[in-house]
Amino acid sequence: MIIAVDFDGVLNSARYPALGEPMKGAKEAMETLHENHHLIIWTCREGEEQTRAVNWLLARRIPFDAINANHPDNIRRHGGNDCRKVFADLYIDDRQVGGFTGWQDVLLWVKCLDESAAMSAEIAYDLGVRN
Q: Where are the domains of the chain?
A: 2-130
Beta bridge partners of 8: 12
Helix/strand number for the chain, H first, E second: 4, 4
Q: Within a 13 Å sphere around the CA of 76, how many CA atoms are in the beta-carbon half?
A: 3
Task: Tell me the whole-structure pTM to 2 decimals.
Answer: 0.87
- Residue 23: DSSP 8-state: P
37, 2 in Cβ contact below 8 A? yes
With a CB cutoff of 8 Å and minimum separation 6, the contacts of 15 are 8
The predicted pLDDT at position 27 comes to: 98
Q: What is the pLDDT of residues 2-46, one digit of tens each?
A: 999 999 999 999 999 999 999 999 999 999 999 999 999 999 999
57, 65 in Cβ contact below 8 A? no
Strand (E) positions, the chain?
2-6, 38-42, 66-67, 90-92
On whether the 2-130 domain is CATH 3.30.360.10, my answer is no
Q: What is the pLDDT of residues 78-112, one digit of tens each?
A: 888 887 889 999 999 999 878 899 999 999 999 99
The predicted pLDDT at position 131 comes to: 43
